[in-house]
Structure 1
């Protein structure tokens, strides 16, 4: 099977799966809830106004741009229909597009890491594993509950997310050697404008986020000299001096980074940027253009939101950056399982089960428990944030149809309860961040390196990632954190939908690797991956040897959450006393 055929086989199989599941969900919802529900009332009405050709009429209750209605108008021109059934199909198509875009991004990221599937021995079954991992991850992304739920409703979130992913693809493709610089610039600007037609906060994900990554890529171009200089340990001062003299970014993988490394990356980026200002300005042109265009829109509109501005006033709501950690952990806890199993596997799991867990759950070899002093500092800052910056929007407490209403009702049950949640925020945050560093292909420190751990406070790890390391770089984490902060802290209202794109960008960079897979696998991992698993009839096909079982657990978890929320929405409605006879339904 050729490289391209493998690509098609994996992606098409995942596409059929999401198409079938989403079609079943849409058909069941439309049969029980045939009329527009909640915000659909405003969206459907506005779409039908556009279908009638009255583009100047605008519902003041709608605060997002008209991108969804323009798409619906195009659908109307093709089908001649603008009823709720055809409008809901727009998001069914978009959720399938999200799967394909996610798969494409994962392939480009794997290609950028130098992990082309055709470089690995076909007989081992690993040639197809890369495609299978990426297709499976893309399927799980499209099944993400807060996103998948709205695929059967007429909301803006699904198409908006698809536009952001397409914009990210443009950035990744521009890094290829044969990429057209002019073509990439034009495509970046056009896709960015299209994304802004669906949601204003997309400006952070189509301008700030890719601009940060593009700048880092320029600063990493001198990495060859950095690698030569990093063959020995460096003090922070030496690393920063090297960044200044060679205009090169200091960076390291997440699974080797301490808190101090992130600060050094920031300072290193500033020092390296001084010597590369012309190159940085050149790559920033399309993103700066988008920011200027968005600024012009805000000045013309008199604010960021359209319509009802009184209930959507921007504010500083830093508690949002506490809520996001349990949010990500809840939906993605199967991906964090190796962080639990690593310290327990040698003590609790012995005999036949231990090789199975190590082969299929990609237990990391370099993760370390949180440092006490860092944990204390983080929880003090989180406690101050909770005390001084907990904002509860009136909409949150006024509508008991949303799950967030019940979360805040629990937190408000006792005055001290919101402070007791702080350790949970920290633990979830630690697990989420370190999941980006899970990799079986990481270089294992030798005895000499292990003996030097006592000098960790004075010396830095290698600036360059080890060959074959799938761990996410620390520089990406900083850009992701900065963009996420900008996109959510200005929102006074806590909505699960606001965290969809931050979750997707995080999920796209979570490593999924075979135990013992890759060119830099350890002898022990290779031995585990090559063994037939005891208790299983016959030998496991090479394709499944060392398969990342977390992906299967994640699929099952997302399907379970989607099933429960769909059942509650469809069959557990209730009636408000002030609106007798009208069924209210629970939703995200």
Structure 2
């Protein structure tokens, strides 16, 4: 009965979330279709190819198109069902796609929470906590659907939205396949089919449906196959190596306790344990090896990764892409850093922000400053990448319709600017990683809930574990960075669309915290079974999500307004409206 109530609650909340995103997306689609009724920019190629497929001419292919035909095949199915293949009908596919992304994100968040609960052997939540966690997951899923570089293309006929949905579908299946009662054959076959389907939309999806889950699967398999619990506290490297090699104990500490040396320690530990258990590793990665073999066969048959326009899409090594991603993440996600940032300011010697400490908004840990070794490594590698490997594609400086054009104009205004930017990359990278490990202090929650707790959070009570997700492990950061690097470093062009999937994967793993901008009465011993459930849920809600929602909506409104109403004309193409876009 409890499981039935839980599913009903999840269905209700998810339905409301999808309805909200549907309304916002439909308004955006109507605005675009009314102002820009004809195909714009790359839509010219995509719409034309879709209509060729709708006409049944599957053998005809536009040589300017670089991506596989997955979107056009779906458009053909829509045409077969509805008899419509006009631009409005096929643009509407991406409205549906954004709603599916919200749905998949919600399911992924539930799966991640179940995985955390099984690792900590937590019991079922109370009714209040269940409502709160469900609302948090739905709100996070809505914010993912509103992510501006993704949401913008929900009203245009581009491949990004449906491609992202298939990647999330593959990740959800991976999480479900990691459950203890999951068999090998069934999930393995579905993994291959979902992965191949994702590759029909974008070739770089191979890194997110094969490399990314394979790395996580290996870590999970090594962790689950050991007799004793893996250490989660910082240890001496020699002890880690000894435990990993002799006892096959995987070292994997939380992000909140980690430094650069811990990243190396996790890699070394995983490699040593994997050498001791090759069959465990092979069983974990078998479906992904099949996917990689299929993709390699396609590349060999095609003579390259892209289908058309190969001269302008030559794969190269472009390491500064891994620098650009950090300000990208923080530009869209700065609200998530606010509480910990204020707490860090509160620790300044003069106590300039001491007055804020009385509010529950600051019940977050103070961020640890970046360690000298990490700063030095980032500075050396970042400066080297900027100096020797900065690539400015001709398309970047030739097209002032894209926002990246203006970013690079600033970076190239003076030779020193791109080197000073390394400091900004370093700060944003540190903040993005800290957000993954920022958990609220359980002190105020414990006092509010009538449970005695340690102010420093040294003893983690049941109440504190119920109010947020576990901190992200270092192994996830390593695997995420590897998949991100493989997917973007080979691209000479810098486009916000390339970072959509990395941002979403990062955002899905940001812990949800119970904190409110409203002060709580810490002297009031209120029982957990209080009848006023909704008041308590609201008081413990993660206020960052609301600020994030407002910020994402503001960004969408501004970019939408610029696209629709701030058009301009090029001298070489008089009378033709050019529009700003991501």
Aligned to 2:379: 379
Question: In structure 2, which of residues 31, 56, 59 is the aligned counterpart of residue 56 of structure 1?
Answer: 59
Question: 1:174 & 1:584 partners in 2: Cα distance?
Answer: 47
Matched ranges for 1:115-264 at <5 A? 119-122=124-127, 125-222=128-225, 225-227=228-230, 230=231, 234-264=235-265
SS, match of residue 376 in structure 2: helix
Question: 1:206 & 1:550 partners in 2: Cα distance?
Answer: 30
Aligned to 1:579: 573
1:72-110 CA deviation, whole Å, 9 max, x = no partner? 000000000110010101100000000000000000001
Question: 2:272 & 2:66 partners in 1: Cα distance?
Answer: 41
Matching of residue 323 in structure 1 with residue 324 in structure 2 = yes
Aligned to 2:74: 71
Question: 1:410 & 1:232 partners in 2: Cα distance?
Answer: 43
> How has the CA–CA distance of structure 1 residues 95 and 530 changed in structure 2, closer, same or farther, with 3 Å as cutoff?
farther
> How has the CA–CA distance of structure 1 residues 309 and 35 changed in structure 2, closer, same or farther, with 3 Å as cutoff?
same
Judge which range, 207-216 or 340-349, deviates more: 340-349
1:575 touches 1:584 (CA, 8 Å); kept in 2? yes
1:254 touches 1:471 (CA, 8 Å); kept in 2? yes
1:146-182 CA deviation, whole Å, 9 max, x = no partner? 0000000000000000000000011100112332321
Q: CA deviation at 1:65?
A: 0.4
1:362 touches 1:438 (CA, 8 Å); kept in 2? no
Aligned to 1:521: none
> How has the CA–CA distance of structure 1 residues 71 and 127 changed in structure 2, closer, same or farther, with 3 Å as cutoff?
same
Question: 2:233 & 2:282 partners in 1: Cα distance?
Answer: 33
SS, match of residue 225 in structure 1: coil
1:328 touches 1:432 (CA, 8 Å); kept in 2? yes
Matching of residue 511 in structure 1 with residue 511 in structure 2 = yes
Aligned to 1:488: 488
Q: CA deviation at 1:224?
A: 5.5
> How has the CA–CA distance of structure 1 residues 577 and 117 changed in structure 2, closer, same or farther, with 3 Å as cutoff?
farther
1:101 touches 1:166 (CA, 8 Å); kept in 2? yes
> How has the CA–CA distance of structure 1 residues 364 and 446 changed in structure 2, closer, same or farther, with 3 Å as cutoff?
closer
> How has the CA–CA distance of structure 1 residues 539 and 361 changed in structure 2, closer, same or farther, with 3 Å as cutoff?
farther
Aligned to 2:300: 299
Question: 2:143 & 2:510 partners in 1: Cα distance?
Answer: 12
Q: CA deviation at 1:476?
A: 0.4
Q: CA deviation at 1:222?
A: 4.2
> How has the CA–CA distance of structure 1 residues 118 and 274 changed in structure 2, closer, same or farther, with 3 Å as cutoff?
closer
1:433-472 CA deviation, whole Å, 9 max, x = no partner? 111001126899999999xxxxxxxxxxxxxxx9986110
Matching of residue 555 in structure 1 with residue 549 in structure 2 = yes
Q: How many residues align?
A: 552
Q: CA deviation at 1:342?
A: 1.5
SS, match of residue 311 in structure 2: coil
Aligned to 2:539: 545
Q: CA deviation at 1:338?
A: 2.5
2:260 touches 2:373 (CA, 8 Å); kept in 1? no
Question: 1:476 & 1:245 partners in 2: Cα distance?
Answer: 24
2:321 touches 2:488 (CA, 8 Å); kept in 1? yes
> How has the CA–CA distance of structure 1 residues 482 and 362 changed in structure 2, closer, same or farther, with 3 Å as cutoff?
farther
SS, match of residue 224 in structure 2: coil
> How has the CA–CA distance of structure 1 residues 247 and 372 changed in structure 2, closer, same or farther, with 3 Å as cutoff?
closer
Aligned to 1:462: none
1:442 touches 1:471 (CA, 8 Å); kept in 2? no
Question: 2:19 & 2:164 partners in 1: Cα distance?
Answer: 20
Aligned to 1:280: 281
Aligned to 2:529: none
> How has the CA–CA distance of structure 1 residues 224 and 337 changed in structure 2, closer, same or farther, with 3 Å as cutoff?
farther
Question: 1:559 & 1:448 partners in 2: Cα distance?
Answer: 35
> How has the CA–CA distance of structure 1 residues 294 and 530 changed in structure 2, closer, same or farther, with 3 Å as cutoff?
farther
Question: 1:476 & 1:231 partners in 2: Cα distance?
Answer: 14
Question: 2:505 & 2:561 partners in 1: Cα distance?
Answer: 28
Question: 2:534 & 2:186 partners in 1: Cα distance?
Answer: 46
SS, match of residue 493 in structure 2: coil
> How has the CA–CA distance of structure 1 residues 412 and 238 changed in structure 2, closer, same or farther, with 3 Å as cutoff?
same
1:117 touches 1:130 (CA, 8 Å); kept in 2? no
TM-score (norm 1): 0.89
Question: 1:75 & 1:370 partners in 2: Cα distance?
Answer: 52
Question: 2:142 & 2:429 partners in 1: Cα distance?
Answer: 24
**Structure showing greater relative contact order (alpha-carbon pairs closer than 8 Å, 6 or more residues apart):** 1
Question: 2:206 & 2:116 partners in 1: Cα distance?
Answer: 27
Q: CA deviation at 1:58?
A: 0.5
1:331 touches 1:558 (CA, 8 Å); kept in 2? yes
2:412 touches 2:418 (CA, 8 Å); kept in 1? yes
Question: 2:217 & 2:272 partners in 1: Cα distance?
Answer: 17
1:545-569 CA deviation, whole Å, 9 max, x = no partner? 2211111110000000000000000
SS, match of residue 381 in structure 1: helix
Structure 2 unaligned spans of 5+: 444-452, 460-464, 527-531
1:360 touches 1:514 (CA, 8 Å); kept in 2? no
